[in-house]
Structure 1
Amino acid sequence: MPQVTVTEHLLLHQKRTPMATGRFTSLLNQLILAVKIIAREVNKAGLVDVLGFTGDINVQGEEVKKLDEYSNSVLIHRMRQAGVLCAMSSEENAGIIEIPEGYPQGDYVLIFDPLDGSSNIEANINIGTIFSIYRRKTPSNSAATLEDLLQMGIEQVAAGYFIYGSSTMMVFTTGQGVHGFTLDPSVGEFLLSHPDIKIPERGSIYSINEGYRTYWDDATKEVVDYFKSPDNENGAPYSSRYIGSLVADFHRTLLYGGIFMYPYDRRDPSKPKGKLRLLSEANPLAFVVEQAWGLATDGVNRTLETQPTELHQRVPLFIGSPADVGKVREIYKKHGVI
């Protein structure tokens, strides 16, 4: 059977995917090019470290950036060239990333986490890039504003992630199901490898950092105790798997089922609403999981219906198989958590 590329897949489904216009395809192709550059650097990061090129100055006398900073700069540079964006937002930048005067502009907005899990690079653990795409709200002949970025997740036109590991994969949705593509280095193309991904109704794996249990509220403690109990609806304790890289933990959950949890905790007063960012992490993965028939919630409320009020707003996140996330909602409501 002939292999299908990302672009071919978009064209094949164009009638069912209204946003798969030439401009949208151009946006996606520029994003893919940026990710190929990042993947190349990720794959040789260990060698570069061994050879001594990760100090402040390399042997050519050039400043060497950390990989997450490098990934951020690559994405910003490439996406400014795309000619289809009016603004961007990155987890690494405090404010709106504007498209400078003189650059062609469009009606799309891109929000991204350039290198999720980058603290795990030296341990050779999977890391990734998360992205979210919206249409602008303000008129096309005006400068983009926060209104264009602070949109609810249900208004996304596309979202997904790239994961760098034993292979480089792209998993994304345009609101018509979820599909996975694997980079074939021999041809330099992402080829369809996981068509029409569906998360299992209930899983047997839970993922959470239990080292923070002391800081959880009673509802969260009961949630985790439920998954560890032999008396749960599976009739056996769930297995615990926690990588500490959101993309890696989510990718496993999407394929095998179960639940990933990053609840609010009292450990860090500077993050009273949790750690994960709504716009660059929670919303894009929530859009993906819902299109794969899963659920995402802050414990009670649907993640995609949260109205953002700031670019780097943080939220709790419970995401995964619908039966497992539904159980979290049930326990939280019992405790009166709203």
Structure 2
Amino acid sequence: MKTLGEFIVEKQHEFPHATGELTALLSAIKLGAKIIHRDINKAGLVDILGTSGVSNVQGEVQMKLDLFANEKLKAALKARGQVAGIASEEEDEIVVFDGEGSENGKYVVLMDPLDGSSNIDVNVSVGTIFSIYRRITPVGTPVTEEDFLQPGSKQVAAGYVVYGSSTMLVYTTGCGVHAFTYDPSLGVFCLSHESVHFPESGQMYSINEGNYIKFPNGVKKYIKYCQEMDEATNRPYTSRYIGSLVSDFHRNLLKGGIYLYPSTATHPEGKLRLAYECNPMAFLAEQAGGKASDGKNRILDIVPQKLHQRSPFFVGTQSMVEDAERFLRDYPEEQ
């Protein structure tokens, strides 16, 4: 079996941004994932279940495990001199690393430390999402918010870790998508899926249909299209929704499908965060032959205006995303 470390070294010459620093940075994320994996697997035995009693900047109640994962990943990244600062869904502002030469770090990391954390109390899959950029500000100076407000097309690496029946790390550096399954007996991530691609057609759609009444007209029409009987297009499609972006995306990546989180009457800008969730997943999707859109525009072309900016999100098998975009164009909102 080939380990994650061995694979990175072997393929390093193929990566457009491959450096020893980037390799070390990915190793820090790998270490953080191992720690989170360990504690998730004994979540019922230690006091990390339930809410923390505090809310994040978006007004969402933080789970204890949200804060735990955030602190562990932050510590792992700070310990490496390659990272000058981070932005996290669980932090109000950017975190500028100082000391031990951190200001000389070439990279910044944006992350959702524990996606779908409300599922952890009921033993359902959750995940970690990360996104890596080269900093814009001069090396040797503290990073600023400008370093984090780059379009997704500027990412040098992105990925996620899904903690489920097995723990798997999936990442891209712009040369395909590769997946590694964690072997706890050895303490290493081993290559299990090389050059992952979305199937050319999919038969699953993932959306919280409980919000149906609040969806735009085009999304309502697309859902009905998914439910119609049509042998030529293998419809009706199957509805599968876990409530964790990482888990839903991962299933659709392997099986073929689309994930939809549109704008709603209560969240007109959408609910998912552009920087921490949409951009890294969009980078992975495109590298796997899929597509990611806000319903009109390519996600990776959007220039973020603020750190915790939200966006509608449609991602998955290319043909299915294009169908959803078509319904949004053909059935605009009533004026």
Residue 7 (structure 1) aligned with residue 22 (structure 2):
no
Residue 325 (structure 1) aligned with residue 321 (structure 2):
yes
C-alpha contact 1:117 1:128 (8 A) present in aligned 2: yes
Equivalent residue, structure 2, for 1:48: 46
| Aligned-residue offset at 1:232 | 7.9
Residue 208 (structure 1) aligned with residue 204 (structure 2):
no
Matched residues in 1 for 2:287 and 2:21: separation? Answer: 23
Equivalent residue, structure 2, for 1:273: 269
Deviations 1:39-75 (A, max 9, x none): 10000002336xx99899xxxxxxxx81111110111
Question: What secondary structure does 1:131 align onto?
Answer: strand
Moved more, 132-141 or 223-232: 223-232
Unaligned runs of 5+ in 2: 53-62
Please give the residue correspondences for 1:1-338 in structure 2 after superposition, counting only pairs within 5 Å: 3-48=1-46, 66-104=64-102, 105-231=104-230, 234-266=233-265, 268=266, 271-336=267-332
Distance 1:144 1:53, change over 3 A: closer
C-alpha contact 2:217 2:328 (8 A) present in aligned 1: no
Paired letter, 1:37: I
Paired letter, 1:240: S
Distance 1:130 1:143, change over 3 A: same
C-alpha contact 1:80 1:99 (8 A) present in aligned 2: yes
Distance 1:103 1:41, change over 3 A: farther
Deviations 1:230-256 (A, max 9, x none): 148614200111111111111001100
| Aligned-residue offset at 1:314 | 0.3
Matched residues in 1 for 2:228 and 2:308: separation? Answer: 36
Question: What secondary structure does 2:87 align onto?
Answer: strand
Moved more, 102-111 or 302-311: 102-111
TM-score, structure 1 length as denominator? 0.91
Matched residues in 2 for 1:202 and 1:182: separation? Answer: 25
C-alpha contact 1:258 1:324 (8 A) present in aligned 2: yes
TM-score, structure 2 length as denominator? 0.92
Matched residues in 2 for 1:159 and 1:257: separation? Answer: 20
| Aligned-residue offset at 1:82 | 0.7
Equivalent residue, structure 1, for 2:60: none
Matched residues in 2 for 1:175 and 1:262: separation? Answer: 25
Matched residues in 2 for 1:280 and 1:55: separation? Answer: 21
C-alpha contact 1:11 1:20 (8 A) present in aligned 2: no
Distance 1:13 1:220, change over 3 A: same
Paired letter, 1:75: L
Matched residues in 2 for 1:311 and 1:55: separation? Answer: 24
Equivalent residue, structure 1, for 2:59: none
Give aligned-pair identity as a percent.
48
C-alpha contact 2:161 2:170 (8 A) present in aligned 1: yes
Matched residues in 1 for 2:234 and 2:13: separation? Answer: 45
Question: What secondary structure does 1:46 align onto?
Answer: coil
Matched residues in 1 for 2:228 and 2:13: separation? Answer: 47
Deviations 1:10-61 (A, max 9, x none): 1111221132211111111111111111110000002336xx99899xxxxx
Matched residues in 1 for 2:161 and 2:234: separation? Answer: 35
Question: What secondary structure does 1:33 align onto?
Answer: helix
Deviations 1:287-327 (A, max 9, x none): 00110000010111111111100111000111100110010
Paired letter, 2:95: I
Question: What secondary structure does 1:35 align onto?
Answer: helix
Paired letter, 1:291: Q
Equivalent residue, structure 1, for 2:56: none
C-alpha contact 1:130 1:160 (8 A) present in aligned 2: yes
Paired letter, 2:138: P
Moved more, 12-21 or 176-185: 12-21
